[in-house]
Chains A and B, each alone.
Chain A
Amino acid sequence: MLMKADKIKLQAFFLTVAIFGTIIFSLLRISNTRNNIDILEDTLEGVKTIVPDTSEVYLFSNYRVPLSKNKIYFYTQFALAPRIIIKEDNQNAEESFNKVPNNGLILLIEDKISDSTFFPNIESSNEYKILYVKNNDMYGIKLLSKKPSSPVSLFSKTEE
């Protein structure tokens, strides 16, 4: 028969185990879940190895809805911090592309869930050098560098 004091000690022991068990189990659960931030961050891993920490990157995405467009921007800033992400006006993409300085870095993010395929056919342009491309089920990304040149002419779009 356990003495009362021993019973209390046993209870305390099991409660302590339960507390640590809860913490460990919960941390493992959180560790094994992924959300949109993680998916985009994984997609942009290669960009981090190319773009220095102190750089600026001009972001274009295929979202048209303001809130969703902003979300991609915020997620991207979070994923690529401390690099500065500059959100460009996707409604005037060509004008915005022209504003990117020579040797400037451009990040194109295509959300596969979005119903618009917005990007100009950038590969055929001589004005940009493709530094990195990655695609998965959620996102397609291209990292480009603008070559030093005279102001660019309009290039064709593939757009629905």
Chain B
Amino acid sequence: MILIALLFWTLSVFFLIDNKLKIRNKPLKIIISFFFTLAVISIIFFAALLTKVNYTLLVTVCIALPALFLVYKWGQLKEFAMGIDFKVTKTTIVVLVSILIYSLLFFATTSRWGNWDAWAIWTLHAKFLTYDAGYINLFTDATAWTHADYPLMLPSIIAITWKSFGNSSPLVPVMASYIIGIAVPLTIYFAFKEKNNVVTGQVILILLTCSIIFIPYASSQLSDSLLGLFILFPFVLIYLMPKEKPFHCLFLIGFFAAASGWVKNEGLLFFAIFSFYYLARNFRDLNNIKIYALGTILPLLVLFVFKFFYTPPNDLIDGQNSATLYKVMDIGRYLTIGRYFISTMLNEFGLLSALLVLIFFVDYKYYFSFNFIIILTLLVGYFFIYVVTPNDLEWHLSTSFSRLLHQVLPVFLFTAGVAISKRIDSGTYKHISGIYI
């Protein structure tokens, strides 16, 4: 039943944004619509749990509302269905081969119930959310070890699917990870295809689907890939924003930026940083800011309720004490984190390191761009979280640092690709107060 609701909602959102976003590429609009739908449904599901709305009623409404809308838009739906043209070219073959290789690698590296964090945190949270009365036990002291303060987008998506199927199948988190994982390279590819930068898109598509740089994390059934996708969406939408009437685009940018906080706590940091730079860049355009803010309302509302009324304190924040000041002044910690960063970049993300160097020669102005400054600030934010962590520093770095790089990998590849393709195409740059876009 929930799959029908997902389909109807995705189609409804697609038709809503179809002409408004000025994006010709239908697969890209479908991906954006689908993940917008997933985020909204996860929020609605959680709200329904809190307000004790009957699940059957919830699904019925979730099916009926978009169904009515689609009936209203019957003509457009018919035109869309009739206009589907499975035009197959050589580039289609490249995409399909990439998806096939991704599928083979994904299923070779994933496992039933995933790794420790996957089942002990994300899937376990989903289990709690599956129960109308029992979900509240997630927020007790006895379950504090499972990080009940972690946001609930992925667990909500898993839980609502389980409830719909009537059982807690391990295949649901597997397929969720598969779909999220493949959406990342496809989003980047279709975004470049929209601007006729097919080669750049294909290179990044092949890089992400056919190498070990991305897939082991995508197949882990954690939330890092989903966060990477939600961090990527605002940058893709900025890249494709129409010059006139960009309202729907701005709304979606605000939505995805804020919704990243509903994926993981790191998403909150991203939202704060992105909003700061975005507002700084657009401070003269009040209308743009209003529409951006409008997009953030729903995710921020659910986050506010979740964080202030339900979750226990975050262990990193709660663990701060008088020793924090000594940690901030301890140069040794900075050196340890720096060394770890460099060794991880060289060993696990060598290709990323090479790209960082390559960009310097192709277009050094990328390092001053709006895109890179956000990514850099985010990494600096992560750096200082490690400086003040109450956990053992080496342990914390070894268990989480690679995943943080995985979160920013898609957006870095995309924005670097934009810079390189602009240089190759000798595109024009917009110079705003010394910041190149």
User: Chain A interface (Cβ within 8 Å of chain B)?
Assistant: 5, 8-9, 11-12, 15-16, 18-19, 22-23, 26-27, 29-31, 33-35, 37-38, 53-54, 56, 74, 77-78, 81-86
A33 CB, min distance to chain B CBs, angstroms: 5
The answer to whether the Cβ of B96 comes within 8 Å of any Cβ in the partner chain is: yes
Interface string of B166-190 (1 = CB under 8 A from A): 0001110011001000000000000
Assess whether A18 is in contact with B100, with CB atoms less than 8 Å apart: yes
Sample (16) of A-B pairs whose CB atoms are under 8 Å apart:
A9-B88, A19-B96, A19-B103, A22-B100, A22-B103, A22-B104, A22-B107, A26-B103, A30-B111, A54-B137, A77-B124, A77-B143, A82-B127, A82-B130, A82-B134, A83-B137
- A44-B138 Cα distance, complex, nearest whole Å: 20
Assess whether B178 is in contact with A8, with CB atoms less than 8 Å apart: no
Closest A-chain residue to B142, C-beta based? A84
- A11-B88 Cα distance, complex, nearest whole Å: 9
User: Chain B interface (Cβ within 8 Å of chain A)?
Assistant: 88-90, 92-93, 96-97, 99-100, 103-104, 107, 110-113, 119-120, 123-124, 127-128, 130-131, 133-138, 140, 142-143, 146, 169-171, 174-175, 178
A53 CB, min distance to chain B CBs, angstroms: 4
A-B pairs, top 9 by smallest CB distance, nearest first, are A82-B134, A53-B134, A26-B107, A15-B96, A81-B127, A22-B103, A12-B88, A82-B131, A82-B128
Closest A-chain residue to B135, C-beta based? A82
Assess whether B112 is in contact with A8, with CB atoms less than 8 Å apart: no
A11 CB, min distance to chain B CBs, angstroms: 6
B222 CB, min distance to chain A CBs, angstroms: 16
Assess whether A56 is in contact with B142, with CB atoms less than 8 Å apart: yes
Contacts of B104 in A (CB 8 A): 22
A84 CB, min distance to chain B CBs, angstroms: 5
Contacts of B107 in A (CB 8 A): 22-23, 26, 29-30
Contacts of A9 in B (CB 8 A): 88
Contacts of A84 in B (CB 8 A): 137, 140, 142-143
Assess whether A23 is in contact with B171, with CB atoms less than 8 Å apart: no
Assess whether B171 is in contact with A8, with CB atoms less than 8 Å apart: no
Assess whether A27 is in contact with B103, with CB atoms less than 8 Å apart: no
- A120-B119 Cα distance, complex, nearest whole Å: 32
Assess whether B131 is in contact with A37, with CB atoms less than 8 Å apart: no
- A29-B108 Cα distance, complex, nearest whole Å: 11
Closest B-chain residue to A30, C-beta based? B112
Assess whether B112 is in contact with A35, with CB atoms less than 8 Å apart: yes
Assess whether B133 is in contact with A54, with CB atoms less than 8 Å apart: yes
B117 CB, min distance to chain A CBs, angstroms: 11
Assess whether A53 is in contact with B133, with CB atoms less than 8 Å apart: yes
Contacts of B103 in A (CB 8 A): 19, 22-23, 26
A39 CB, min distance to chain B CBs, angstroms: 12
B97 CB, min distance to chain A CBs, angstroms: 6
Assess whether B171 is in contact with A30, with CB atoms less than 8 Å apart: yes
Assess whether A11 is in contact with B134, with CB atoms less than 8 Å apart: no
Contacts of A54 in B (CB 8 A): 133-134, 136-137
Closest A-chain residue to B178, C-beta based? A23
Contacts of A12 in B (CB 8 A): 88, 92-93, 96
Closest B-chain residue to A37, C-beta based? B113
| Residue from B88, B90, B120, B136 with most neighbouring chain A CB atoms (10 Å) | B88
Closest B-chain residue to A79, C-beta based? B127
Contacts of B133 in A (CB 8 A): 53-54
- A12-B104 Cα distance, complex, nearest whole Å: 17
Select which of A8, A37, A38, A82 is within 8 A of B138 by beta carbon: A82
Given contacts A30-B112, A77-B143, 5 further A-B contacts (CB under 8 A): A12-B88, A30-B174, A53-B133, A78-B120, A83-B137
A26 CB, min distance to chain B CBs, angstroms: 4
Closest A-chain residue to B170, C-beta based? A30
- A27-B89 Cα distance, complex, nearest whole Å: 30
Closest B-chain residue to A15, C-beta based? B96
Assess whether B112 is in contact with A19, with CB atoms less than 8 Å apart: no
Contacts of A18 in B (CB 8 A): 100
Assess whether A86 is in contact with B142, with CB atoms less than 8 Å apart: yes
Select which of A11, A22, A23, A33 is within 8 A of B112 by beta carbon: A33
Assess whether A85 is in contact with B142, with CB atoms less than 8 Å apart: yes
- A12-B99 Cα distance, complex, nearest whole Å: 12
- A29-B171 Cα distance, complex, nearest whole Å: 10
B430 CB, min distance to chain A CBs, angstroms: 39
Contacts of B113 in A (CB 8 A): 35, 37-38
Select which of A15, A27, A37 is within 8 A of B171 by beta carbon: A27
Contacts of A78 in B (CB 8 A): 119-120, 123-124, 127
Assess whether A38 is in contact with B92, with CB atoms less than 8 Å apart: no
- A22-B105 Cα distance, complex, nearest whole Å: 10
Closest B-chain residue to A29, C-beta based? B107
Q: Assess A8 versus B124: contact at CB under 8 Å? Given A15-B100, A56-B142, A82-B134.
A: no
Closest A-chain residue to B97, C-beta based? A15
- A79-B123 Cα distance, complex, nearest whole Å: 11
Assess whether B92 is in contact with A8, with CB atoms less than 8 Å apart: yes
| Residue from B89, B97, B112 with most neighbouring chain A CB atoms (10 Å) | B112
Assess whether A8 is in contact with B89, with CB atoms less than 8 Å apart: yes
Closest B-chain residue to A36, C-beta based? B113
- A82-B97 Cα distance, complex, nearest whole Å: 42
A72 CB, min distance to chain B CBs, angstroms: 13
- A9-B134 Cα distance, complex, nearest whole Å: 52
- A88-B57 Cα distance, complex, nearest whole Å: 41
Contacts of A8 in B (CB 8 A): 88-90, 92-93
Closest A-chain residue to B143, C-beta based? A84
